[in-house]
């Protein structure tokens, strides 16, 4: 049986999330395809021990509905074989990068007789929360105040821990003279906000759920009585 190794030039159009996507012909007359899927951190290192689920498109994302699932190995790679040629949806459990949790959700096209090699940088699955902070009394822009975005699914803010959350968070920034601050956060995750006064240390939190899609920007207005 002949083996051919051919690099195909082309980008997977089903998603804009991949950094490397290589198709390799593996066997003549093959009726199924394979997938090699790698998860990288910001330094380009593979992330081991992450559960990756493979779904038919259009099905729900419950684990028991998955076509297959596996853990990434020490190089951050997971392999799926004997796949019927079609479009699949890939989901992961939460992945910690830079102390923030990311949930990946992307698509990949499988072709008969082809091993698709896909590499994804986890922190690319993020969006921008563009926040404007206004005075709760006269709606003028506030200055000298900071905003922290915290994930509602993993952080419960109380008066006992709010100061520590502000100190440890990497998802924060100070508003400019017009009351604006932009914070890049993991996509498809519910966030709420802590507002803190940079000078007097006043803190406030609680409001609504806000979620941004990958590569998108969501504009939000918050109101504070700190001034």
Residue at 14 is within a domain: no
Instruction: Check pLDDT > 70 for residue 5.
Output: no
25: confidence class by pLDDT, cuts 50, 70, 90: low
- C-alpha to C-alpha distance for 138 and 140, rounded to whole angstroms: 6
Residue at 140 is within a domain: yes
Evaluate whether 109 touches 14 at the Cβ level (below 8 Å). Answer: yes
Residue at 207 is within a domain: yes
Query: Which pLDDT value is given to residue 216?
Result: 97
153 vs 214 pLDDT, higher one: 214
- C-alpha to C-alpha distance for 118 and 147, rounded to whole angstroms: 36
Here the CATH number for the domain that contains residue 169 is 2.60.40.10
Residue at 3 is within a domain: no
Residues 175 and 101 reside in one and the same domain: no
Residue at 161 is within a domain: yes
Nearest to 21 by CA among 103, 137, 138, 108: 108
Tokens of 167: 């100190």
Instruction: Check pLDDT > 50 for residue 192.
Output: yes
Query: Which pLDDT value is given to residue 202?
Result: 87
Query: Which pLDDT value is given to residue 9?
Result: 28
Q: Using alpha carbons, list the distances in angstroms from residue 39 to 64, 85, 217.
A: 23, 23, 24
- C-alpha to C-alpha distance for 103 and 125, rounded to whole angstroms: 8
Residues 155 and 110 reside in one and the same domain: no
Q: In what order do the strands lie in the sheet with 126-135?
A: 180-186, 126-135, 217-224
* Of 95, 124, 153, the domain-final residue: 124
Domain with 107, as residue range(s), is 20-124
- C-alpha to C-alpha distance for 152 and 145, rounded to whole angstroms: 22
């Amino acid at each position: 049986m002949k083996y051919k190794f051919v690099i195909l030039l082309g980008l997977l159009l089903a998603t804009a999330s991949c950094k490397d996507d290589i198709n390799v012909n593996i066997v003549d007359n093959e009726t199924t395809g394979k997938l090699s899927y790698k998860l990288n951190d910001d330094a380009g290192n593979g992330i081991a021990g992450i559960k990756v689920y493979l779904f038919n498109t259009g099905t729900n994302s419950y684990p028991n509905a998955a076509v297959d699932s596996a853990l990434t190995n020490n190089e951050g790679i997971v392999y799926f074989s004997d796949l019927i040629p079609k479009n699949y949806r890939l989901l992961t459990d939460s992945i910690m990068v830079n102390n923030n949790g990311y949930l990946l959700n992307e698509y990949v096209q499988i072709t008969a007789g082809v091993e698709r090699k896909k590499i994804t940088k986890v922190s690319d699955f993020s969006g921008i929360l563009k926040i404007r902070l206004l005075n709760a009394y006269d709606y003028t822009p506030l200055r000298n105040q900071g905003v922290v975005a915290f994930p509602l699914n993993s952080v419960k803010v109380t008066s006992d821990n709010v100061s520590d959350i502000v100190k440890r968070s990497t998802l924060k920034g100070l508003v400019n003279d017009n009351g604006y601050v932009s914070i890049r956060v993991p996509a498809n995750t519910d966030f709420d906000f802590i507002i803190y006064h940079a000078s007097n240390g006043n803190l406030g939190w609680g409001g609504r759920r806000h979620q941004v899609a990958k590569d998108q920007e969501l504009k939000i207005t918050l109101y504070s009585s700190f001034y």
